Amino acid sequence: MLRDAKASLDSEDYIKAGKLIDSALRENSTSLMALTLKTEINLRTKKYDEAIDCSRRALNEAELLCKRESIARARYQLSMAYFKTHKYAESFDQIMLASKYAEKDNEIMIFKEMVTKKYQTEADLTEEQIKQEEAKYDHSKQKSQVSTPTVKSQMRTDWYDGDSVVDISIFVKSIDKKSVAADFEPNSFKVEFMDTKGEKYNYAIPKLYNEIVPDECEYAVFSTKLEITLAKSKKLKWTNLKYDESKDKRAQEVEPTMQSYDNSEAVTSYPSSSNKKVDWSKYEGSDEDEANEEAGDDAALNFFQKLYSDADPDTKRAMMKSYVESNGTSLSTDWSEVAKKEVETQAPEGTVPKQWSK
């Protein structure tokens, strides 16, 4: 069934693929392959909220099964969904984590370059600052290899901003359900719990980004995590979990961003297939209303996609090598030339080249 779904997805028959995947998930709601394919459909059809949900579920299963390639793929898809919803810090976090599991995956590494550049631009980070951000992930990897993790380092968290709720995931395996004690206040919350080995954990935010409704907040315990749902008192967009004292309160009360899809369609409704057969279509612009804002980036990327999809293996190798080594400033299709030496950064006139990653 899923093999047919993958074939339908490759041929861009999203209606057929969606039906097959939904059927597979009804039989097994934790099927890693089905969740991965469903995420891919949601990304291609611009249902980014659903893509975030599916990729997080896929990540949960991949970590439970300890499958490195699947962990990398789930984080890559999650990064893609965050990128399309303009959550560049979250996208950067996920793609950096994905790259640790897939250093030889060209698709992931190229997307990592794109996300890093966008994150640096949007966050207004200097070259030194972005290097420090990247170094954090190398440090955490090295630390996990040479020392025994403390209780605090075992707690990996993730969060997602919805229309009326904020979901927080605290990833700890084998939580003792009876030990969970959560305290919700209008502007704060804290939770304490233990795992089945008796190890204690606690997580708290003393001042939340915005107010919540304590009586409507809840939590749920799963095999690998604790899921906390904060009910918003106002349907405003949260750009962080914590309140920023340096900003005016009115500046933090941002109206929700309108999406280019309807959540009521659910997973059984998919747009009709298009005639374009390009595997890189997930990189297309996220919304027609944003076409002017991202026109330059999209035009260049669409040109790259078209060349790549029709290219022979040597041309593809040349494109990837030149793009990555030049930090996205040069694109060559001549492998005989590119293979001989490293491709230098071609900075625009009047600017200084920067090395984005090593």
Asked whether 189 and 230 are in contact (CB, 8 A), the reply is yes
Q: Which residue is listed with tokens 């891919």?
A: 40
Q: Exposure pattern of 22-46 as b/e (b: 16+ CB <10 Å)? A: bebbeeeeebbbbbbbbbbbbbbbb
Of the candidates 129, 237, 225, the residue with the CA atom closest to the CA atom of residue 169: 225
Identify the pLDDT of residue 6.
87
Identify the pLDDT of residue 78.
94
Give the pLDDT confidence of 152-189 residue by residue, as tens digits.
Answer: 435 788 888 888 899 999 988 889 999 999 999 999 99
DSSP 8-class letter at 285: -
Using CA atoms, how far residue 35 sits from 18, 47, 67, 73, 149, in Å, is 11, 14, 14, 11, 30
Identify the pLDDT of residue 247.
58
Identify the pLDDT of residue 316.
72
Phi, psi of 256 (to 5 degrees): -60, 140
Collect the ranges in the chain with pLDDT lower than 50.
139-153, 256-281, 283-287, 289, 355-358
Identify the pLDDT of residue 269.
34
- What burial class does residue 113 get, using C-beta atoms within 10 Å of its C-beta: 0-12 exposed, 13-18 middle, 19+ buried? middle
- Domains of the chain (ranges; CATH) run 2-147 (1.25.40.10), 155-249 (2.60.40.790), 283-338 (no CATH)
Q: What is the pTM of this model?
A: 0.48
Q: Which residues contact 117 (CB under 8 A, 6 or more apart)?
A: 327, 328, 356
Identify the pLDDT of residue 84.
93
